[in-house]
Structure 1
Amino acid sequence: MCRFLCVVFALLWCQGNAFSSGHESRLVELAQGPVKGYKDKEFDIYTFYDIPYATAPTGLDRFKGPLPPPTWSEVFEAVDKVTICPQTDLMGWLPNVMTMQEDCLTASVYVPDTIQKHLPVVVYVHGGAYVMGWGNMVTPKNFVNSKKVIAVTFNYRVGAHGFLCLGTNDVPGNAGMKDQVALLRWVQKNIAKFGGDPNDVTIAGYSAGSASVDLLMISKTTDNLFKRVIPDSGANTAAFSVQIDPIQNAKEYAKLLTSKKFDNLVDLERFFKTIPYDQLNSGNTGFRPDSSFVMTPCVERDLGQEVFLGDSPVNILKSGDYKKVPMLYGFCDMEGFIRLLNFNTWKDLMNKKFSDFLPADLKFKSEIEKEQVAERVKRFYFGDKAVSEETVLAYVDYFSDVLFTYSILRSVKLQVEAGNDQIYVYEYSYYDDETIPVPYTNNIRGANHCTQCVIVLDGWKGYINRTSGTDEFKTHVKNMRTIWLNFMTTGKPVPEDSEFPKWPPVGANRSPHMSLGKTIELRGTPRKERTELWDDIYEKYYAYPMPPTSQTHVEL
Structure 2
Amino acid sequence: MFRRDWFLYICGYFMLVTCQTPSKTVTIDQGPVKGYRSPKGDVFVFYGIPYATAPTGTQKFRPPLPPPSWTDTLEAVENNIICPQNLGLRNVIGDFKMQEDCLIANVYVPDTEERNLPVVVYVHGGAYQFGYGADVSPINMVNSKKIVAVNFNYRVGAHGLLCLGTKNVPGNAGMKDQVALLRWVQNNIAQFGGNPNEVTISGCSAGGSSVDLLMLSKATKGLFNRVVPESGSNTASFSVQVDPIANAKMIANELNVSVDDFDGLENFYKTAPYEMLYKINVGEQKDTSTVFAPCIERDIGEEMFLDDHPVNILKSGEYPKYPMLYGITDMEGLYRVNNFDTWKDEMNENFAVFLPEDLQFENEEVKQEVAQKIKQFYFGEEPVSEANILQYVQYFTDVMFGVGAAKNVELQVEAGNNQIYLYEYAFVDDSVDYVPYTNIRGARHCSQGRAVWDANDESKLSEEFRNMKSVMRELWLNFITTG
TM-score range, shorter chain: over 0.9
Question: Residue 436 of structure 1: CA displacement?
Answer: 1.0
CA contact (8 A) 2:40 2:139 kept: no
- 1:124 matched to 2:122? The reply is yes
**Percent identical residues:** 58
- Residue 93 (structure 1) shift: 4.0
Offset from partner CA, 1:301-342 (integer Å, 9 cap, x none): 000000000000000000001110000000000000010111
Q: Partner residue of 1:453?
A: 449
Question: Where do 1:525-536 residues align within 5 Å?
Answer: none
The answer to whether the aligner puts 1:307 opposite 2:304 as a matched pair is yes
How far 1:21 sits from its partner (Å)?
Answer: 4.4
User: Which one of the candidate residues 376, 380, 384 is aligned to 1:383?
Assistant: 380
Q: Which amino acid aligns with 2:440?
A: I
Hey, what does 1:65 align to over in structure 2?
A: 63
Residue 181 of structure 1 aligns to a residue whose secondary structure is: helix
1:438 aligns with: 435
Aligned to 1:45: 43
Mapped to 2, the partners of 1:18 and 1:336 lie a distance apart of 50
Counting matched residue pairs gives: 469
Does the 8 A contact of 2:429 with 2:464 survive in 1?
no
Deviation at 1:466, TM superposition (A): 4.2
> How far is the alpha carbon of 1:149 from its aligned partner?
0.3
Whole-Å separation in 2 of the counterparts to 1:319 and 1:39: 47
> Deviation of residue 167 (structure 1)?
0.4
What is the distance in 1 between the residues matched to 2:363 and 2:387?
32
Q: Which runs of 5+ in 1 are unaligned?
A: 1-16, 492-556
Match of 1:482 in 2: 474
Q: CA deviation at 1:476?
A: 1.2
Equivalence for 1:397: 394
Spell out the pairing of 1:179-258 with structure 2 (5 A cutoff): 179-257=177-255
1:352-400 Cα deviation digits (max 9, x unpaired):
1000100010111111100001000100001111111001000000001
User: 1:177 & 1:119 partners in 2: Cα distance?
Assistant: 26
Query: CA separation in 2, counterparts of 1:225 and 1:210?
Result: 17
Structure-2 residue corresponding to 1:517: none
Aligned residue identity for 1:214: D
Question: More displaced, 181-190 or 91-100?
Answer: 91-100
Alpha-carbon shift at residue 469 of structure 1 (Å): 3.3
Please tell me the residue identity of whatever aligns with 1:29.
T
Q: What is the CA distance between 1:435 and its match in structure 2?
A: 0.9
1:271 matched residue in structure 2: 268
Q: In the alignment, does 2:329 pair up with 1:332?
A: yes
1:261-292 per-residue CA deviation (whole Å, 9 max, x = no partner) reads 21211110000000111101222110110001
Q: Would the aligned equivalents of 1:161 and 1:281 in 2 still touch at CA under 8 Å?
A: no
SS at match of 1:178: helix
Letter paired with 1:186? W
Q: Is residue 351 from structure 1 mapped to residue 348 from structure 2 by the alignment?
A: yes
| 1:273 counterpart letter in structure 2 | K
Query: Where do residues 135-214 of structure 1 align in structure 2 (5 Å cutoff)?
Result: 135-214=133-212
One-letter amino acid matched to 1:471:
E
2:264 and 2:16 mapped to 1: Cα distance?
A: 49
Displacement of 1:421 in angstroms is 0.5
- Read off the aligned partner of 1:199 and give its amino acid letter: N
Using the alignment, how far apart are the partners of 2:109 and 2:288 within structure 1?
38
* Cα deviation code 1:463-482 (max 9, x no counterpart): xx643333322221111110
Deviations 1:99-136 (A, max 9, x none): 11100000000000000000000000000000000001
- C-alpha contact 1:90 1:284 (8 A) present in aligned 2: no
Structure 2 CA distance for aligned equivalents of residues 373 and 147 of structure 1? 53
Give me the whole-angstrom Cα distance separating, in 2, the residues matched to 1:265 and 1:19.
57
In 1, distance between residues paired with 2:342 and 2:130? 23
Please give the per-residue CA displacement for 1:442-461, whole angstroms capped at 9, x wherever unaligned.
x201100000001100136x
Task: Name the CA distance, whole Å, in 2 between partners of 1:88 and 1:260.
Answer: 19
Residues 426, 442 of structure 2: 8 Å contact kept: yes
Does residue 97 (structure 1) correspond to residue 128 (structure 2)? The answer is no
- Pair 1:89–1:19, CA change in 2 (3 A): farther
Q: Distance in 1 between matches of 2:123 and 2:276?
A: 25
AA aligned opposite 1:204? S
Which amino acid in structure 2 is aligned with residue 383 of structure 1? G
How many angstroms does 1:19 deviate by? Answer: 7.4
Equivalent position amino acid for 2:407 in 1: R
Q: Which amino acid aligns with 1:445?
A: R
**Amino acid of the structure 1 residue aligned with 2:328:** F
Helix, strand or coil for the counterpart of 1:204? strand
Deviation at 1:260, TM superposition (A): 2.7
SS in 2 for 1:403: helix
Is the Cα–Cα contact under 8 Å of residues 51 and 180 in structure 2 kept in the other structure?
A: yes
Give distance in 1, aligned partners of 2:348 and 2:18. 60
TM-score (normalizing by structure 2): 0.95
Secondary structure of the equivalent of 1:341?
helix
Q: How far does residue 346 in structure 1 lie from its aligned partner after superposition?
A: 0.6
Match of 1:142, as an amino acid? N
SS at match of 2:301: coil
CA-CA distance at 1:20 after TM superposition:
4.0
- Mapped to 1, the partners of 2:303 and 2:397 lie a distance apart of 35
